[in-house]
Structure 1
């Protein structure tokens, strides 16, 4: 356990030290530290025999929170995005355990308001936290398609007419982004 913490900590420290001098190396070190944290953590959980309970979701939650913090401190949007993606995955797992059988409309009700909240956070944070605005915008777009991903990937259920519905969602998001292009481009580009 100490070795895993030492290795991932060394990667994060190297990432922080070389952040301004070598940004690509710094990003690579942060990524390696994140992978080591998740990989060695899950390996230790498996070695201890705790993989049947809540240990894996707790590891994903801790990694997600840590990655969001590290990503915002080091100004690496991709690390923050991965941390928020961990939270999205945990939310999907909890909702999937509570509701094994759901309709397509219920999945839309569960995921689309969260997408709207992250879109609103993009607008809210674009003046002071420019990197966070980019991350929130990417999360918002991810959550827009999460009902279909939840149904297909996590539940293995395909609703009738799902390809057409996915195509309609793609067209609708492109239309929305085109109509509001003068707003959101400023939010993520400035």
Structure 2
């Protein structure tokens, strides 16, 4: 299902998704309508504009929160015209997987966009590479990532985009065993011990985003 107040963009997005193998089961111009559609017939994933009527502020993410509360199994892909770090952090901290944050420009890469929507529908987290780059640039004085090597930072940055170890290995032209060693080193250096109720990979990404 789709929600965007701009009719041309919404219809174009519906066409793109249909052409890449999705079935669009509902379209809305605001969050309230989308929420009603989702409650009536939950989709695998909802693609939601971050800013919609009435205030064009954070209606999209508020709608996403309401959808997650009402139908926890629905994946949530947020689209935005701008890089807004605080909204991405809210997605990472308030939602337990199955979420994504992409710039609308990313939709033009049809194959990658379709793959990202499928990842979110499958429970993964997808963060726009531009947002990750901005976050890397915003380092604090006492950065918890200072202990990481450049290669470990690169691995963690790709993890923050929702990539698996296999995908990270392919992207960096490394073996999976080498990537696994880097991931273990990241966990160790960030002080992330194994805990039965907390996923270290998610905690590592949260540390990265907050830094």
| Shared fold (TM-score, shorter chain, > 0.5) | no
Higher helix fraction (1 or 2): 1
Higher strand fraction (1 or 2): 2
* TM-score normalized with structure 2 length: 0.29
* TM-score normalized with structure 1 length: 0.31
